[in-house]
Amino acid sequence: MSAPRTVVGVSGGVDSSVAALLLRDACEPLAGLFMQNWADDGSGDCRAEDDRRDAVAVCGRLGIPIHFRDFSSEYWAGVFEHFLAEYAAGRTPNPDVLCNREIKFKHFLDAAHGIGAEFIATGHYARVARDGNRVRLLRAADRSKDQSYFLHQLGQQQLAATRFPLGELAKSQVRRIAADAGLPTAAKKDSTGICFIGERDFREFLGRYLPARSGEIRTPDGRVVGEHPGVFYFTLGQREGLQIGGVRGFDAAPWYVVGKDVAGNVLYVDQGVDTPWLQSRCLWSEGAHWIAGGPPAARFSCTAQTRYRQPDEPCEVEVRDDGSLSVAFGRDQRAVTPGQSLVLYDGDTCLGGAVIASTDAPLERRHRAHAA
């Protein structure tokens, strides 16, 4: 059997199934590859075996060979250990970004080359544009499904070897194509979150690896209003799970997480979705990654997202000598969270991004002042 020119990552979901279908119908020499990225922990909560069966069924339906690779050890070292370290530091990581960089577009790409393929393909909603020797990452045509935010850490070599067959399609079209072709995944529910967490209780899962201590929930002015089960379990802007009942002297309005003091084991909250304690206009990042290989300038204007599916926000970017970024927005931003990704855009072109290190939100300014 001759080597395929493209290997498509078949996850057992409808998106990768249709990506494979479209490539097959374009007469692309093709094979599928199913990745196992998490070792079974005995909980029964990971759908990997069900997804594997669906991937096999899809490839059988399409008449293409399928390969299998176990990247669970690579996932642990390249993604999960970082995930735990970030939570232990009180930050909120984005493992999907690391998973794409370290697993799907590194180890999967290497595996595809090992099979003899030139390209890989995935079911991501994004586009690649080739301009001479340069490659650009573009948003998907369906902005509501665009996943370029999670792909911003990819580089020129990775993108040059990647195809995104769904980049011009809407999700409704993908479902219809799958149904018309009789694919067994046509009506399958989209996966949510990360396989190793799945639908299980997040606190129970994280508690296996990061034993947490209960502690006080305080307002920014120091009044105790409740008790938390562990600061690791909460992120800025979160409302759910606080279990703060009626508190004497306060309105019956919802409470939101506005800060965390990991060293002091204190969770800070305030009332109101637009509380000023969640607002910031400036952020500072860790070292940035640029898809083109370097920034467009030392200082430039663009738009940014500080969370997935956030509307574009105009900003001014300064690239500092160490490669980190100083970013100023024209208006207040809500719940910009250290550990999450800042992703920069010029129109539909994704420029790159960086991990958010800190902001000028009120509690962060206070903590820095106390530490000085």
Order of strands, sheet of 119-121, starting from the edge strand that comes earlier in the sequence: 66-70, 30-36, 6-9, 119-121, 162-163
Q: What is the rounded distance in angstroms from the CA atom of residue 167 to the CA atom of residue 301? A: 26
Strand duo 224-228 + 215-218: pairing:
antiparallel
From the number of C-beta atoms within 10 Å of its C-beta (0-12, 13-18, 19+), residue 258 rates as buried
User: How many other CB atoms sit within 10 Å of the CB of residue 292?
Assistant: 15
Buried b (16+ CB within 10 A) or exposed e, 114-137: eeebebbbbbbbbbbeeeeeebbb
d(C-alpha 183, C-alpha 59), whole Å: 10
State the CB neighbour count (10 A cutoff) for residue 165.
24
Q: Are 19 and 177 in contact (CB under 8 A)?
A: no
Q: Mark 94-110 as b/e (b = at least 16 C-beta within 10 Å).
A: bbbbbbbbbbbbbbbbe
Q: Would you tell me the crossing angle of helices 171-180 and 14-25 to the nearest 10 degrees?
A: 70
Contacts (Cβ under 8 Å, ≥6 apart) of 114:
none
In angstroms, the CA 190 to CA 104 distance is 18
Is residue 195 annotated as a catalytic residue, yes or no?
yes
Of the candidates 99, 302, 315, 350, the residue annotated as catalytic is: 99
Residues 6 or more apart whose CB falls under 8 angstroms from that of 234 comprise 228, 241, 242, 257, 260, 267
Q: Which of 27, 46, 59, 195 is catalytic?
A: 195
Residue 200, SS3? coil
277's tokens:
């304690």
Active site residues: 99, 195
